Structure 1
């Protein structure tokens, strides 16, 4: 950070900031660099403190407004919030009221055990607001590891793949299709996979567009 000449740093806790690396707001403050921790990540706690939980979209709007105040562009921040709220409403409205809610599993990585996301991750809101049923939505966690037995029991209709290298989304899909315990899972049998970039599945300005992408996919596959 010092070599980069950073005037301000913002990141999530445990994806950017972290005590294991020594990159913390406290350490930056000691170096004279102000910082900001993304609201969605604060549930993990900073030191002995934990803010609790905040839905990802609420966290996104909160962070935009806070950053708007920090940089003196509050009007622009409010404009962005309004645009994103409108995009989310349009995405939700695109879901037919009589359409079934397909069961959706978010697959990040892992072969021995799958790494996925619970109800405190942004992906949960992306899936549920798009008219899907997040099969790991009962997990009181953000990003976490589960078992393949749990995935088989959940019997998802669709698998959303978190697309970042390595391995590629295509390689992740190939593994899922070749993994024997999943052979009878509807998502595997019907080849219903949707790859989304990492930035769409963690709190950030790509969340509203991701909701529309997932809604369109679920609308299309449910109809067919």
Structure 2
């Protein structure tokens, strides 16, 4: 399966499933103290600094639009925070997830019946017609007027706040880490006045990852190839091979290393078959993005490169949303650590 170039470009650029009826207590209220002013009783106003802009929220958003951005980071984070009922249009979907029930929950969300543009996202007029009070975009690409999108200023004129996810301001995700997933959770927790839920999710993820990291500490780090299944993003045979970004942080926490980290300075490497064949690969991580059978792609690669240690030992794992920005990186760390260091578990 080959994806259209606009989606690949956006990708490279870039669980509570029920809704609680009330917001978390503010820090002052939780501590039993008296709020300094009336606004603090509700937690508002809240101001978020985002890509050089100050976004002030006077109340929790109730008409949220989630742009595609070739991601599920934002919609998964909203669902994990129990905020699915605030979404009036969601364009994100991977078609698979490591979190039970998430695919079904995302599929059940409204899409706004939008006719998407050539970049598989929401064009300006359609966006304004949705009457959002918050628009989420994985990168600043989603607010670029040159690509036919509503700008942040245009949305502000219709009383809609906007938010670009961590590391998305410059459309360069090569420096993204798991900490950025925590930032996304924390920011949305503040915006919707559910900071306690966000902090609980962060604490649970950190505890799980720290426990796994302790088990694999001091062990030799196998060389891992990470790539998206059946996706073309360049001119060579292997153009969706991961070089940098959150993937490397996940690998390191799982006791592994990226076999192709030096192949590119950007998030992805565009490699020839010869380059791939000449590199020792101890294990394979295939990320499924709307691919019905990424496991078949993984097995095909292992058969194509029988000289790899990964092929001789049949060491591969298929993952999806847990490998990218979002609330479930701890699941990816665990799955990869078990693949690389099975005797530690």
TM more than 0.5: yes
Q: 1:49 maps to what in 2?
A: none
Whole-Å separation in 2 of the counterparts to 1:14 and 1:115: 22
Match of residue 128, structure 1, among 252, 275, 284: 252
Q: 2:278 maps to what in 1?
A: 153
Question: 1:29 Cα deviation (Å)?
Answer: 3.1
Question: 1:171 Cα deviation (Å)?
Answer: 3.0
Question: 1:81 Cα deviation (Å)?
Answer: 1.9
Residues 60 and 165 of structure 1: is their aligned pair in 2 closer, same or farther, counting only changes over 3 Å? Answer: closer
Q: 1:213 maps to what in 2?
A: 335
RMSD: 2.8
Question: 1:69 Cα deviation (Å)?
Answer: 1.7
Pairing 1:8–2:125 present:
no
Residues 200 and 27 of structure 1: is their aligned pair in 2 closer, same or farther, counting only changes over 3 Å? Answer: farther
Q: 2:88 maps to what in 1?
A: none
Whole-Å separation in 1 of the counterparts to 2:243 and 2:152: 26
Pairing 1:35–2:162 present:
yes
Greater Rg over alpha carbons, structure: 2
Residues 24 and 59 of structure 1: is their aligned pair in 2 closer, same or farther, counting only changes over 3 Å? Answer: farther
Residues 207 and 156 of structure 1: is their aligned pair in 2 closer, same or farther, counting only changes over 3 Å? Answer: same
Deviation by residue 1:165-203 (Cα, 9 ceiling, x = unmatched): 335213312431343xx2312222322111001x11111
Question: 1:145 Cα deviation (Å)?
Answer: 2.7
Q: How does 1:1-224 map to 2 (within 5 A)?
A: 1-2=127-128, 4-13=130-139, 20-22=147-149, 24-44=151-171, 54-95=175-216, 97=218, 99-108=219-228, 109-110=230-231, 112-120=237-245, 122-138=246-262, 139-166=264-291, 168-179=293-304, 182-197=305-320, 199-220=321-342
Whole-Å separation in 1 of the counterparts to 2:283 and 2:268: 19
Deviation by residue 1:51-95 (Cα, 9 ceiling, x = unmatched): x97542221122222222211222332222222211210121121
The gaps in structure 2 that reach 5 residues or longer are 1-126
Residues 42 and 143 of structure 1: is their aligned pair in 2 closer, same or farther, counting only changes over 3 Å? Answer: farther
Residues 143 and 27 of structure 1: is their aligned pair in 2 closer, same or farther, counting only changes over 3 Å? Answer: farther
- What TM-score comes out, normalization by structure 1 length? 0.80
Larger helix proportion of the pair: 1
Preserved CA contact (<8 Å) 1:11 1:36 = yes
* Stretch moving more, 146-155 or 130-139: 146-155
The gaps in structure 1 that reach 5 residues or longer are 46-51
Deviation by residue 1:91-113 (Cα, 9 ceiling, x = unmatched): 2112153x321110002134722
Residues 163 and 68 of structure 1: is their aligned pair in 2 closer, same or farther, counting only changes over 3 Å? Answer: same
SS of the aligned residue for 1:44 comes to coil
Residues 40 and 201 of structure 1: is their aligned pair in 2 closer, same or farther, counting only changes over 3 Å? Answer: farther
Q: 2:81 maps to what in 1?
A: none
Whole-Å separation in 2 of the counterparts to 1:144 and 1:137: 9
Residues 189 and 53 of structure 1: is their aligned pair in 2 closer, same or farther, counting only changes over 3 Å? Answer: closer
Whole-Å separation in 2 of the counterparts to 1:189 and 1:123: 24
